Amino acid sequence: MKKQDIVNLSWDEFDEMRDPRPDANGFDAVVERAISRRGFLGGVLAFGSAAAVMGSGVLSSTTSAKAQVSAFAFEPIGIATDHDIHVPKGYAWKTLVRWGDPLFKEAEGAYSPETGVSVDMSDKVFGENTDGMETFVDGDKTILAINSEYVNPKINLPAASEGMPQNADEVRLLKNMQGVTVLEIADSGDGYEVVLDSPYNRRITHETQMTMDGPAAGSDLVKTNADPEGVSPKGTMNNCGSGKTLWGTYLTCEENFNGYFGATAEREATESEKRYGIGGEGRYAYEKFEERFDLSKEPNEPNRHGWVTEIDPRDPSSTPVKHTALGRFKHENAEMVQAADGRIVVYMGDDERGEFIYKYVSDKSWAEGQPTDGLLSNGTLYVAKFNDDMTGEWLPLTPESTGMELADILVFSRMAGSKVGATTMDRPEWVAANPLRVEVYCALTNNKNRGVKANAGGDEQPVGGPNPRETNNYGQIVRWRPAGEDHGADGFTWDLYVMAGNPTVYDNVYAGSENVNEGNMFNSPDGMAFSSDGMLWIQTDGDDSNEGEFAGQGNNQMLVGNPDTGEIARFLTAPNGAEVTGLSWSPDGKVAFVGIQHPGGNWPDGNGKPRSAVIAVWREDGQAIG
């Protein structure tokens, strides 16, 4: 494959190309176990009875969903295949901030449709490929912290570069476009606007100085030539989903960090590198211009990435902290709640085919006003095991349970999870906790390897439990209820909130669950967040060809799900080519901020290059939208 074609691959395609999984098809029984739509509904009946025990009614939910007239405040919209945004009647939207828009007056006009943004201005403008975001309030000021996950070099680099950096300056340009943007916004009466030169405005990039805490900080695994103490890493990368601490700081989650590292000399990958997809050539050729990214020179540098990193958006001089206690994997997002006794609980997904769902529980409890020191550095990491009988348990990852040293458990959490028999999942994306009851949802976006191949650690991916479909191209959302309504509990019960699918193409398990129909179908749920009224907002990052098994599903979209009735309705459609990712609200709940990543065509400018952007959406009658 040509170099310039590599940048067009998705991150998971890139990983599979560099490190093909063995074709270990030991799943002859899979076809027998793959369930028909009818059989699946039988499964839902079982969910219903289990759910009844839990106090909810999945059976009634899914049967009533079809018959119901929309209970939502909006009229659901149809699919779209164009290069525009669509929202329901009575709602309006505008572009809040695009890649290349200035954060400071000196960067006004920095973006040009012909050449993009210059190196000098690249860390004074909004970053590329917007993703997770959260809203913060400081006095009467409103602040957004927003991830910039990766770059689109063919668009971001000057035309002569052929889609790959040709020199150190171009590497610097790409590094500056990623990471996190903190910016102040002000209510303009029509969806807010960016406050130029606000003291809060800040870019955090692949170069920003950070610290590390927790048991793996200072261990030999994270020491490098530039940082022999192993406590001062530079940069946060592939910032995917987000989280917000209960004390008002931002959590940015490092996902496909592995792709930034490459080797300039022949070397054999270690077992842990293979598990994390580290080796070969880096996606953006960083290693050719900087030793930090060259595995031949700095084999420990990748161990300093793949963490949850905490940023204080209200203090622009603060140093971001990588929390090793929360484990190292391809972090999607970090959903923080509290156990019944006040301990801090963080739910997290590892987005790769056949990887796991984790939770972190702090040693100490916390209440508002108390010090927060140590809450994200002293605790226990657990991994989820889902049983076929719709129960599950959190397995602690400790030296006793894994036979590994604590620092190794945290740096190589995937391998620790394998040792205790965690359940291989269909690519865990965002986790969202229902604010109205003790219940947690995780989007399992899709998994073409389910029932076909093992994961990178050799763990089988059998069909069953919360991953009930072989070659799962549509995805599903699993939810669990902690035992005793306590996020600190070791046990839980689970069911599937929805199985995405296509009921016009299939009449079997690939048609999806009963709450999926011709009018609301979608594939590949990814971003998720609850609004304060207890509605689940679902964002998709899937196949938007509108053809074949995806016919009738249109562009990527954002839907709203009712946890009680199971009803799901389409709220927004994205421009073709884009995924919808990242969702947060204005402090009064009247404006939703929505991320539009990697749009195609010329969106939103209509000329020049497509630009990822955060849009603002609001109700024209001034009511809250969730």
* Residues of this chain that bind ligand FEO (CB under 6 A): 149, 240, 255, 332, 351, 429, 526
Cα–Cα distance, 218 to 7 (Å, whole number): 34
Partner in contact with 227, chosen from ligand FEO, Ca ion, none, beta carbon below 5 to 8 Å by kind: none
SS3 state at 506 = coil
Partner in contact with 355, chosen from Ca ion, ligand FEO, none, beta carbon below 5 to 8 Å by kind: none
Torsions phi, psi for 52 (to 5 deg)? -60, -40
Cα–Cα distance, 239 to 147 (Å, whole number): 5
Beta partners for 361?
345, 380
Nearer to ligand FEO, 255 or 459 (CB): 255
Tokens of 581: 């990712």
* Residue 512 Cβ vs Ca ion, minimum distance, rounded to whole Å: 19
CA of residue 431 relative to chain centroid, distance = 8
* Residue 240 Cβ vs Ca ion, minimum distance, rounded to whole Å: 5
Partner in contact with 149, chosen from Ca ion, ligand FEO, none, beta carbon below 5 to 8 Å by kind: ligand FEO
* Residue 329 Cβ vs Ca ion, minimum distance, rounded to whole Å: 14
Binding interface with Ca ion (CB under 5 A): 526, 541
Task: Indicate the helix (H) or strand (E) that contains 323.
Answer: strand 321-323
Beta partners for 211?
321
* Residue 227 Cβ vs ligand FEO, minimum distance, rounded to whole Å: 27
SS3 state at 3 = helix
| 604 cis-preceded (ω within 30 degrees of 0) | yes
Nearer to ligand FEO, 333 or 586 (CB): 333
* Residue 582 Cβ vs Ca ion, minimum distance, rounded to whole Å: 9
Nearer to Ca ion, 13 or 271 (CB): 13
Give the Å distances, CA to CA, from 539 to 72, 398, 525, 581: 17, 35, 6, 6
Tokens of 98: 């695009």
Partner in contact with 335, chosen from ligand FEO, Ca ion, none, beta carbon below 5 to 8 Å by kind: none
Nearer to ligand FEO, 179 or 482 (CB): 179
Residues 6+ apart with CB under 8 A from 305: 233, 235, 236, 237, 238, 254, 257, 260
* Residue 427 Cβ vs ligand FEO, minimum distance, rounded to whole Å: 7
Nearer to Ca ion, 312 or 526 (CB): 526
* Residue 219 Cβ vs ligand FEO, minimum distance, rounded to whole Å: 27
Sort strands 211-213 and 321-323 into parallel, antiparallel or unpaired: parallel
Partner in contact with 213, chosen from Ca ion, ligand FEO, none, beta carbon below 5 to 8 Å by kind: none
Partner in contact with 352, chosen from Ca ion, ligand FEO, none, beta carbon below 5 to 8 Å by kind: none
* Residue 614 Cβ vs ligand FEO, minimum distance, rounded to whole Å: 16
Nearer to Ca ion, 61 or 447 (CB): 447
Nearer to ligand FEO, 15 or 287 (CB): 15
* Residue 539 Cβ vs ligand FEO, minimum distance, rounded to whole Å: 10
Give the Å distances, CA to CA, from 125 to 118, 175, 338: 10, 13, 36
Nearer to Ca ion, 198 or 445 (CB): 445
Partner in contact with 298, chosen from Ca ion, ligand FEO, none, beta carbon below 5 to 8 Å by kind: none
Partner in contact with 408, chosen from ligand FEO, Ca ion, none, beta carbon below 5 to 8 Å by kind: none
In this structure, what is the dihedral angle of CA atoms 2, 4, 8, 10, given to the nearest 10 degrees? 70
Which residues in 531-612 belong to E strands, given as ranges?
536-540, 557-561, 568-573, 579-585, 591-597
Partner in contact with 255, chosen from Ca ion, ligand FEO, none, beta carbon below 5 to 8 Å by kind: ligand FEO
Nearer to Ca ion, 184 or 541 (CB): 541
